[in-house]
Amino acid sequence: MSGRGYRTFRGGVHPPTHKELSSSKAVTQAPVPAEVVIPLNQHIGAPNVPLVSPGDRVDVGQKIGETEAFVSAPVHSSVAGTVRAVEDVRNFTGAIVRAVVITADAEQPAFAAARMKPVGELTADEIRRLAREGGLVGMGGAAFPTHVKLTPPRDKPVDTVLLNACECEPFLTCDHRLMLERPAHIVEGLKLLVRAVGAERGIIGIEANKMDAVDGLRAAVSSEPGLDVAVLDVKYPEGSEKQLISVVTGRKVPPGMLPGEVGCLVQNVGTSVALYEMASIGKPLYERVVTVTGPGLRSPGNFLAKIGTRISMLIEAAGGWAGEPARLIMGGPMTGWAQEEPVASVVKGTSGVLVLTPELVDARDEHACVRCGKCVEACPMFLMPNYIAEAAIREDWAKAEMYGALDCFECGCCSYTCPAYIPHVSYARKAKAQLAALKKR
Amino acid sequence: MAAGRFTLAVSPHLHQKGQTIERGMTDVLIALTPAGIVAMIVFGMNAFYVMLVSVLTACLTEVVMRWVLGRKHTLRDLSAVLTGVLFAFLLPATTPLWVVAVGAFLAVGVAKELFGGLGRNIFNPALFARVALMVSPLWLYITKFPRPFFYRTVGFFTPVSVAINNEVAGRVVYRGLFGSVYPDVVTAATPLSLLKSGKMLATTISGPTPVGSTWVTVAGRPTFWAQFLGVHSGSLGEVSVLALAIGACWLLYRRTIDWRIPAGIFGAFLLVTLVTWNYPVFSLLGGGLWLGAFFMATDWVTSPMTRRGKWIYGVGIGLTIALIRLWSPLPEGVAIAILQWNVLTLLIDRYVAEPRFGEVGRSWLNRLPPYPKPGKAEPDKPVPAN
Ligand code: SF4
Ligand code: SF4
């Protein structure tokens, strides 16, 4: 297999990547929907309050939700149009959330670039403020507000910024396309990130199955002191924060700690581009590249989609259903969320829409654990997933913690490799929720 | 909400191709094939019948037991077939077939199903059955090993009473169902029993040599090549180190088993044998060790799951085997050592802590977090739809 033999971490799995379905498809603009549904909270942190009410006119890029709290990110309208409602909808995880529903005008004006201070002269504070104003969040899926990460505590200085360009989830190619099409913007964004935290170096970590992108990025960083590209093994989850840090820098983030603990900051390439766009032309994060792919679609591709676009529209843009669609997923196949109907809307953290066919959905009944230890070997956090699951079944939360439930980041390597088809992730999630509740008491 | 068009499921939505229980079992069966072929060459049809009866009984037992216990039947996962083959591999080819059937029943019916089925058993079923027979009145049947290339078929119902031998002459008299007598089932000492009985240096042992050529036996004991290829007496599966090694390579290549366990066993065993200079080469070529280290000790269910645990278990088994060989009269060192560590496996997995990612200086013992056991007091939070 290509892309092996580079630096990597212990544990993890090698799922077939299936990236060829969409990796050669250039990013195209998805059609502007007649109506967008923009959830007010697309980040981890304090909830936003709506700034608009039904009947209001909104413009492209206008802020429509915000809060005073530090750990939060505002949301912006992705279209020009009229607010139809502010109502509860079901988001892609199945949770009920408040959302602004906007009817788009038939004619959509292009985004008017604002006149900004030259990017090279921005100070750290200004960059943080721009990140916040632009509503930037981690675009790899976690959706943690970017400006919070860019504000490291004084006693824990950050010396290394890592740009996560691994895209280790199978099927997804949105970051790959960004790297091929806009390497210069990625590097500009990285320079802003490095300056915002006062780091010494910025390293782009990329998997060895994207050598074409490596070339472009190498060329773009060659003249930049302190910036570098690190080529890594093709393995899942190479792009997980803690694994990436350990592979590239050799530092290990201790359990329960954040990357800042070892002087690192990790951002996704999408976020880097978004930061550059906000800094250079004042364009907030209201659209993103989404990979719409899978054997259940006629013509998979990468689309620049407005936040709030219903995924049914993207499925149409990708040529509609093909074959026998069996599972619809928002996100990648390893950590994404299954959908019953194509109704949820694209949010800032949506990297993909995936339609699997029955050959790929290898669902079986759970067998008793046969104690083969494969999940233990595959777990990149060196936990005991099977014992966590067993403790969760017995509702013995203390034991679940003993075997590492709180360190689980739900990568899914354990279930992927389990011959007994045990859904460890759902047990670990349950244990984590219960333990969080316990700790609060 | 009415059921939607697509099914909901928790991530991950992909599963590793071919990573199933039956594939794991199939891989072990594939790995056992060379040894099975050697057994049939060396011991003839007897070997085949023993395997056949063992597998059939194991499967039948599983079907009946699961039906009686009201469990879903699981013949498809091939674990009964594997247990059947493994158990047959631990027997002499001349074992009366009804004894084989009794053993296979003990393996699947008692050691596996009564403990709760595949995954919940504490002992390796095949070894459990073997040792159970050893401590039963049937022990004589499974401790007489035919010479290589003795092809006379033994009947199914050979009665217990006539299986008595005249050991001095190294002969066992078997009698078939209708009184037919096979007086010439010539048994031979296994390499290990030679070593045990202190005959390693004896010049001769009685009885004709099987093939007569000097590469097979020298001074009454098998040569290196005989041991390596499998032309000597012993149980079915253990005679040929070469065949077992080929199978072991397959298991390691397929990653069905973890290399740490056999590495620990061989390492520790070799160390003790070298230090005490207890026939290191000869002992190392004992097929029982290879069968045990690669096919029995690595049994998924009954071996530890963490890296540390695997090392402890492997080294522990290696030391135990070496010590048994050195100081105890028991001939079944490998079986007993593995069974003993099967029991300790549960403790290892429960108490031996594996350091987590990024953790330094974690103690070797797992400790429960300090807060009280909540039990079922906490109401279930509604988990989001997935
Ligand atoms: S236990 Fe958690 S961290 Fe470990 S492999 Fe499973 S999902 Fe990943
Ligand atoms: S991979 Fe599955 S069967 Fe194997 S130990 Fe883990 S939970 Fe048990």
DSSP state of B292: I
Span A391-407, average pLDDT: 91
Span B184-189, average pLDDT: 50
Span B282-292, average pLDDT: 84
Span B73-92, average pLDDT: 93
Question: What pLDDT, on a 0 to 100 scale, did the predictor assign at position B238?
Answer: 87
Question: What pLDDT, on a 0 to 100 scale, did the predictor assign at position B163?
Answer: 40
Indicate the residue of B8, B368, B384 with minimum beta-carbon distance to A340.
Answer: B8
Q: What is the mean pLDDT of chain B?
A: 79
B384 interaction partners in chain A (CB closer than 8 Å) = 93-95
Residue B178: pLDDT band (50, 70, 90) is very low
Q: Which of A288, A285, A73, A271 is nearest to A189 (CA)?
A: A271
Question: What pLDDT, on a 0 to 100 scale, did the predictor assign at position B195?
Answer: 60
Question: What pLDDT, on a 0 to 100 scale, did the predictor assign at position A134?
Answer: 94
Tokens of B156: 């199914």
Span A245-274, average pLDDT: 94
Question: What pLDDT, on a 0 to 100 scale, did the predictor assign at position B208?
Answer: 37
Edge-to-edge strands, sheet with A75-76: A49-50, A63-66, A75-76
From residue B261, how far is each of A376, B237, B257, B308, B319 by CA, in Å? 15, 20, 8, 10, 13
Question: What pLDDT, on a 0 to 100 scale, did the predictor assign at position A34?
Answer: 93
ipTM of the complex: 0.89
Hey, are the CB atoms on A328 and B120 less than 8 Å from each other?
Answer: no
Q: Judge whether residue A222 has pLDDT over 80.
A: yes
Hey, are the CB atoms on A371 and B119 less than 8 Å from each other?
Answer: yes
Residue % of chain B over a pLDDT of 90? 46
Q: Judge whether residue B169 has pLDDT over 70.
A: no
Residue % of chain B over a pLDDT of 70? 74
Question: What pLDDT, on a 0 to 100 scale, did the predictor assign at position A354?
Answer: 96
DSSP state of A30: P
Ligand 2 centre distance from Cα of residue B376 (Å): 25
Q: Which atom of ligand 2 is nearest to the CA of A424?
A: 7
Phi, psi for residue A275 in degrees, rounded to 5: -65, -40
What count of CB pairs under 8 Å joins A to B? 213
pTM, two decimals, is 0.88
Contact yes or no for A341/A374 (Cβ under 8 A): no
Residue B187: pLDDT band (50, 70, 90) is low
Pocket of ligand 2 (CB under 6 A): A 369-375, 386, 418-420, 422; B 305
Pairwise CA distance, residues B39 & B33, whole Å = 10
Q: Judge whether residue A420 has pLDDT over 80.
A: yes
Q: What is the mean pLDDT of chain A?
A: 93
Residue B158: pLDDT band (50, 70, 90) is very low
Question: What pLDDT, on a 0 to 100 scale, did the predictor assign at position B194?
Answer: 60
CB of residue A425 inside a 6 A radius of ligand 1: yes
More confident residue, B203 or A128: A128
Tokens of A428: 């670990």
Q: Judge whether residue B256 has pLDDT over 50.
A: yes
Q: Judge whether residue A123 has pLDDT over 80.
A: yes
Hey, are the CB atoms on A94 and B386 less than 8 Å from each other?
Answer: yes
Q: Judge whether residue B284 has pLDDT over 90.
A: no
Handedness of CA B358, B361, B364, B367 (dihedral sign): negative
Span B218-230, average pLDDT: 70
Q: Judge whether residue A81 has pLDDT over 60.
A: yes
Q: Judge whether residue A377 has pLDDT over 70.
A: yes
Contact yes or no for A58/A82 (Cβ under 8 A): yes
Span A411-415, average pLDDT: 96
Residue % of chain A over a pLDDT of 90? 83
Q: How many CB atoms lie within 10 A of CB B71?
A: 13
Per-domain boundaries in chain A: 119-281, 374-440
Contact yes or no for A181/A270 (Cβ under 8 A): no
Residue B212: pLDDT band (50, 70, 90) is very low
Question: What pLDDT, on a 0 to 100 scale, did the predictor assign at position B95?
Answer: 84
Question: What pLDDT, on a 0 to 100 scale, did the predictor assign at position B89?
Answer: 95
Contact yes or no for B58/B111 (Cβ under 8 A): no
Q: Judge whether residue B176 has pLDDT over 70.
A: no
Contact yes or no for A313/A300 (Cβ under 8 A): no
Indicate the residue of B19, B358, B385 with minimum beta-carbon distance to A254.
Answer: B358
Question: What pLDDT, on a 0 to 100 scale, did the predictor assign at position B377?
Answer: 45
Q: Judge whether residue B200 has pLDDT over 70.
A: no
Q: Judge whether residue A3 has pLDDT over 80.
A: no
Phi, psi for residue B34 in degrees, rounded to 5: -55, -45
pLDDT tens-digit profile of A139-172? 987 789 999 999 998 899 999 999 999 999 999 9
Q: Judge whether residue B174 has pLDDT over 70.
A: no
Residue A176: pLDDT band (50, 70, 90) is very high
Question: What pLDDT, on a 0 to 100 scale, did the predictor assign at position A4?
Answer: 73
Write the CATH number of the domain with boundaries A119-281. Answer: 3.40.50.11540
Residue A416: pLDDT band (50, 70, 90) is very high
User: Which of A68-72, B235-239, B245-249 tops mean pLDDT?
Assistant: B245-249
CB of residue A379 inside a 6 A radius of ligand 1: yes
Exposure string of A338-350, with b = 16+ CB inside 10 Å and e = fewer, is bbbebebbbbbbb
Residue B219: pLDDT band (50, 70, 90) is low
Span B239-247, average pLDDT: 93
Question: What pLDDT, on a 0 to 100 scale, did the predictor assign at position A306?
Answer: 96
* Residue B154 CA neighbour count, 13 Å, CB half: 34
Ligand 1 centre distance from Cα of residue A414 (Å): 6
Q: Which of A271, A300, A432 is nearest to A19 (CA)?
A: A300
Q: Which of A398, A406, A396, A399 is nearest to A433 (CA)?
A: A406
* Smallest Cα distance from B39 to chain A, Å: 29
From residue B352, how far is each of A300, A402, A403, B142, B347 by CA, in Å? 48, 11, 11, 38, 8
Hey, are the CB atoms on A372 and B374 less than 8 Å from each other?
Answer: no
Q: Judge whether residue B379 has pLDDT over 70.
A: no
Tokens of B332: 């079944």
More confident residue, B74 or A75: A75
Tokens of A51: 């700034």
> How many residues are listed for chain B in this entry?
386
Q: How many CB atoms lie within 10 A of CB B70?
A: 6
Find the ligand nearest to B305 CA.
Answer: 2
Q: How many CB atoms lie within 10 A of CB B374?
A: 16
Question: What pLDDT, on a 0 to 100 scale, did the predictor assign at position A55?
Answer: 94
Q: Judge whether residue B371 has pLDDT over 70.
A: no
Please provide the distance, in angstroms rounded to a whole number, between the alpha carbons at the two ends of chain B. 13
